[in-house]
A and B are shown apart, each in its own frame.
Chain A
């Protein structure tokens, strides 16, 4: 069955370190998204990609970057982790660019000390 997997599921890091969260999907979807989830804020869109070599900023993109070198993967990089980036991160993919059904990974819980 097709799926979307995230790694690591849990990570603790220190302020200022670079962190990369991996996302891999086997749906063969062109469209991939990264969200962060915080209490009281729901899910907020960080970055998204409509295809290979395409990346776009979302609502809360400062401090984050993504790159898309193939269809299956959209890694999320925190260039210099800050305590405000402690959150649960979700990757999702969709058949449609926007407004389509999203298929979510299980999430990556990141703690920045």
Chain B
């Protein structure tokens, strides 16, 4: 069974728009991580947010964590065509991944 569940499954936006994807999880966590996967490639770590943090920024990425709702969101601002990829959250000591959100950014 998956620990993290991303929503939506797919998202299509225009270049320059913001993209928001969400992750819900079931059990208590120490941290939550977001990864990106370009088509046909391995996953790449984007950002880690600890359970005692509510928000974290890295460049155009903003991650929030609400442990009371067991949810996290990843916001990509001013999206670019190169942001087209699948995005996954991973939680728990056993690093369970969801099925991912497939983001398409149209030029």
Binding site for B on A (CB under 8 A): 33, 35, 40-45, 58-59, 90, 92, 98-99, 101-107
Q: Does B25 make an interface contact (CB < 8 A)? A: no
A108 CB, min distance to chain B CBs, angstroms? 10
Instruction: Give the number of residues in B that approach A within 8 Å (Cβ atoms).
Output: 25
| A103 B45 Cβ-Cβ under 8 A | yes
| A99 B30 Cβ-Cβ under 8 A | yes
Binding site for A on B (CB under 8 A): 1-2, 4, 30-31, 33, 35, 40-45, 48, 88, 90, 92-100
| B43 A90 Cβ-Cβ under 8 A | yes
B99 to chain A: closest residue by CB: A42
Residue from A33, A40, A41, A103 in contact with B95 in the complex, judged by beta carbons closer than 8 Å: A33
| A42 B42 Cβ-Cβ under 8 A | no
Give complex CA distance A101, B94 in Å. 12
| A41 B93 Cβ-Cβ under 8 A | no
